[in-house]
């Protein structure tokens, strides 16, 4: 029996009771395990927030405090999506907003640690640090010569996460309007009511491209300061969260994933499983990120270091530095 397009009599809100009646205690087991992860992460974050004044210099405390709240916020949002699967679309956008907010805070943290944009640009000029235009996702530009870093292209790299955060906030506004007015989108990818999501594809690619270039540049400028890896963790989270969308498009398109009567439609099953994955990803990467945020800021000035040319080399730097500690 093909249940992909089954018709279910759904309540206005699908919550824990409806999920239990559809899949039984499988979801209960996940909630128990998730609670054992969520509470410690919030506990660690709260404890480190209280101790932040002793490990971070005054000019960086607010930005560092906001970065510490990103992992528990991601986990809390995922938990809300698991408890109330009918909030799936809103929860997915909220995840993207929180990560985008983290990207904005990270770029600000880097600029403050290096004592301003002019210091970074001057360092890049003196040490021949070029703009890595062959960064993912536009690796096709790798054979081209790298231009020097100036105030214009550096400001674009710094602005990109802010534009991403703004656009994700606009997406949330559209979905809230749909929810409040009771409008049901057609479900077609190429349609007027899905135009905001279609536009979001190039916006996401371009802004993440500029942010990835920023990461490569700061990996060189902030050599010796482990806080530069915060940006790598946030980028990996953004990519992994985005990949879940493509993965479940494949599963639903091939009818490998179906609805679960009496209350879980195919869309609700997708949202539920996405949040299972995101919650545990946010736990592992989040704890590592919190640890980096609160580490003592020993390196304030830029130092010379070769620029990695790929994401794999940047990740290998993270691994090698961890092994030396």
H or E stretch covering 321:
helix 311-324
Number of structural domains, the chain? 1
Angle ∠(160,165,169) on CA atoms, nearest 5: 145
In a domain, 20, yes or no: no
Query: Residue 53: what pLDDT?
Result: 80
* Mean pLDDT (10-residue bins), the chain, 325 residues: 59 88 89 89 92 84 95 95 92 96 97 94 94 93 94 96 97 93 81 88 94 95 92 95 89 87 90 93 93 74 47 51 51
At residue 314, the pLDDT reads 52
List Cα–Cα distances, 54 to 48, 51, 57, 68, 112, in angstroms: 10, 6, 8, 15, 18
**Dist. CA 251–CA 245, nearest whole Å:** 10
Q: Per the domain annotation, does 3 fall within a domain?
A: no
Q: Are 189 and 198 in contact (CB under 8 A)?
A: yes
d(Cα 219, Cα 215) in Å, to the nearest integer? 6
Q: What is the pLDDT of residue 278?
A: 94
Pick from 105, 32, 35, 43: nearest CA to 70: 105
User: Is 17 inside any structural domain?
Assistant: no
How open is the CA angle 293-161-40, to the nearest 5 degrees? 35
Q: Are 200 and 282 in contact (CB under 8 A)?
A: no
Instruction: Write out the residue range of the structural domain in which residue 31 sits.
Output: 26-324
- Is position 8 within any domain? no
Q: Sort residue 258 into left (φ over 0), alpha (ψ -120 to 50) or beta.
A: beta
Domain assignment present for residue 18? The answer is no
| Residues with Cβ within 8 Å of residue 300, at least 6 apart in sequence | 113, 114, 115, 225
What's residue 305's pLDDT? 45
User: Is residue 6 assigned to a domain?
Assistant: no
What pLDDT was estimated at residue 8?
75
- Does a structural domain hold residue 131? yes
Is residue 35 a part of any domain in this protein? Answer: yes
In whole angstroms, what separates CA 113 from the centre of its chain?
Answer: 22
Q: What does the alpha-carbon distance between residue 179 and residue 294 come to, in Å, rounded to a whole number?
A: 39
In the 8-state DSSP scheme, what is residue 143? T
CB 297 within 8 A of CB 56: yes
Give the global pTM. Answer: 0.87
């Amino acid at each position: 029996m093909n249940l992909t397009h089954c018709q279910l009599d759904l309540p206005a809100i699908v919550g824990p009771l409806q999920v239990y009646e559809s899949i039984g205690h499988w979801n209960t087991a996940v909630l128990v395990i998730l609670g054992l992860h969520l509470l410690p992460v919030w506990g660690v974050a709260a404890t480190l927030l209280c101790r932040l004044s002793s490990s971070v210099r005054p000019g960086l405390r607010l930005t560092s405090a906001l970065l510490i709240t990103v992992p528990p916020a991601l986990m809390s949002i995922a938990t809300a999506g698991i408890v109330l699967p009918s909030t799936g679309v809103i929860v997915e956008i909220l995840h993207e907003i929180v990560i985008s907010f983290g990207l904005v805070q990270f770029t600000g943290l880097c600029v403050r640690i290096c004592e301003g944009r002019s210091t970074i640009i001057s360092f890049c000029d003196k040490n021949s640090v070029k703009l890595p235009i062959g960064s993912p996702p536009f690796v096709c530009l790798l054979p081209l010569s790298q231009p020097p870093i100036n105030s214009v292209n550096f400001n674009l790299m710094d602005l990109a996460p802010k534009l991403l955060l703004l656009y994700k906030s606009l997406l949330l506004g559209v979905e809230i309007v749909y929810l409040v007015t009771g409008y049901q989108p057609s479900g077609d990818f190429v349609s007027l009511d899905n135009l905001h999501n279609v536009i979001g594809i190039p916006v996401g690619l371009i802004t993440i491209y500029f942010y990835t270039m920023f990461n490569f540049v700061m990996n060189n400028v902030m050599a010796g300061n482990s806080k530069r890896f915060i940006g790598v963790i946030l980028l990996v989270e953004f990519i992994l969260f985005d990949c879940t969308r493509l993965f479940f498009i494949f599963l639903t398109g091939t009818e490998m994933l179906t609805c679960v009567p009496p209350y879980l439609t195919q869309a609700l099953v997708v949202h539920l499983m996405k949040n299972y994955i995101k919650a545990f990803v946010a736990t592992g990467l989040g704890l590592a990120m919190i640890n980096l945020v609160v580490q003592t800021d020993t390196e304030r000035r830029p130092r010379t270091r070769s620029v990695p040319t790929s994401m794999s080399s940047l990740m290998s730097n993270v691994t090698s530095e961890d092994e030396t500690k």
